[in-house]
Structure 1
Amino acid sequence: MSHLIFAGIFWHLVGAASAACFYAPFKKVRHWSWETMWSVGGIMSWLILPWAVSAALLPDFWEFYGSFSLAQLLPVFLFGAMWGIGNINYGLTMRYLGMSMGIGIAIGVTLVVGTLMTPLLQGRFVELFSSTGGRLTLLGVLVALCGVAIVSRAGLLKERAMGITAEEFNLKKGLVLAVFCGIFSAGMSFAMNAAKPMQDAALELGINPLYAALPSYVVIMGGGALVNLGYCFIRLATQSSLSVKADFSVAKPLLVSNLLLSLLGGTMWYLQFFFYAWGHARIPAQYDFISWMLHMSFYVLCGGLVGLVLKEWKNVGKRPVSVLCGGCLVIILAANIVGLGMIS
């Protein structure tokens, strides 16, 4: 059992690494509006890949989804849409608070809400205090939250050293958006929990447990796509400074490059939840809520490590880097505490 749990933690780390790196290809897109770039990548990650993977896994694609009632599918879809709203708020949070403070508050809130709300709603929260494993698991969540706070502090020190400030710093507005972002982003955790009947049905069809959660992504990410693509399309249609025609009128080599980079970014974004499903499948059922904590804390961890590899922390001084490394070690400690809790 223990080797399966640590395999699950490893796959959550792989998924988080993909999440931490997915925006790198988008940064190389040139002369395109953010809305066009995000829409192209989103169509790949929220629509094409979930549908293609599910079609490859399921014996009869339409029969599978037709076997569920609207009452079963609607909560899954709406939680996906909730998570999509969190994605949009994430960008606005960075705008008003800056990267470090925005990430610290938003990720901290979504880590706590997405992790603990599920057992709370299921009436299992109090039970966690009655066993050594449960108490260790909750301790791991608390330590992970501390790690996120330390890494965010390192980011704030980095921004000060480099003279970086938020575009339109507004503490009051930014804090409200950060909290909303954290709450709504936890919709993915709620959606995965609501989609358990779909996962059980996939298992009954003989689908490998590692892939059992993937068919539910068609519905979950469909909700997220509705919100994100709707937001982008409305802006493209109403903002005079934006033009899809102009974006697709760039020179052919640049057009091909932008398309491939956006599709690559979308693919990497999808892969975070592809491997999230692998990790989730290895976590014991009584601790399945902990998958979200592992994903979000590893996301912060990998984001910091990727920044070091790409030399984003060069010339900021020793203190910010030391604080970053300390925060990363705390997150690694949290993962080990959670692992010990699950095998206790």
Structure 2
Amino acid sequence: MELIVKLEKKYNWFITGAAGFVASHICDYLIRNNQNIIAVDNFLTGLQSNIDYLKEVSTSHPESSFNFYNADICDTEKMIELSKGCEKIIHQAALGSVPRSIKLPVDTHQNNVNGFISILEAARANNIKRVVYASSSSVYGDSPKLPKVEYETGKVLSPYAATKAINEVYADAYTSAYKMELIGLRYFNIFGPRQNPNGAYAAVIPKWIGQLLEGDTPTINGDGTTSRDFCYVDNAVLANILASITSKKEAYGEAFNIACEEQTSLNTLYDMINKGLNSLDENIPITEALYRDFRQGDIKHSLANISKAKKLLNYSPMVLAHEGISATVEYFFKEKRKL
């Protein structure tokens, strides 16, 4: 991974959800930037392969340190113990997926809200002021306004969205009550290499790529005109690093859209993936997707305004959607060929 922002100082970082998709990329970046990392995950959804990968990267960067612990973020005493001596927290652990939250609302709340407060309490106990945490574009709910701006949200449509909205309220409260420096990042459909393509709740991009590589026919929810602001994972890493080091007090207690300000329909996305794989191997045919009913809890369109993140975090996307799709397709294609 390219060193997006060169850190001038070595910090002690506490990273949650390290076996997950986004957090493993953040750890990868920090290791390559010679930082000290304490990382935790309980493998509820994370992958051991991500931790194995990070340990391998760390062996070639001896000036960094990467220490991983299998631990549950809801265990507050353990979080206090492990984060002692850390200076910055990046909190990515969560039970994701809108459909899963509709099926498992209590589990979603336990992990996403109670777990979040547990991390805030660990930070407070160890006097760690800066906590950057993952929020979600799902907090915009049924608001039809495009592009999405941070101060205009609607009624949330799923338990998952509710947990992220609650986290933002708690972050604001902790910032005010305890003079902490909490910054939330509202991710818009993050994707990229190492994202899990398997399981009932797999994200659409790795899932479709995996299906096409297996010779299966992907399914699109709705008529395919549904659109999203797809954001390559390196952009999310950049946002986390910038939020972790900003000195702008106006950013504290705030949440920011992290996206590319690009709108891509599912039909266009599928076409890009299918043709991308075909260009790598002509034996992967150009095929029509199947269509089914629109999925409960989803919104029809999403597009971010990132002006606030540009102003207060100096964030600007490094990789646009089509570039990220190309890189992601190539990654999974090469991984498949290794098997």
TM-score by length of 1: 0.27
Structure whose residues are more often strand by fraction: 2
Structure whose residues are more often helix by fraction: 1
TM-score by length of 2: 0.27
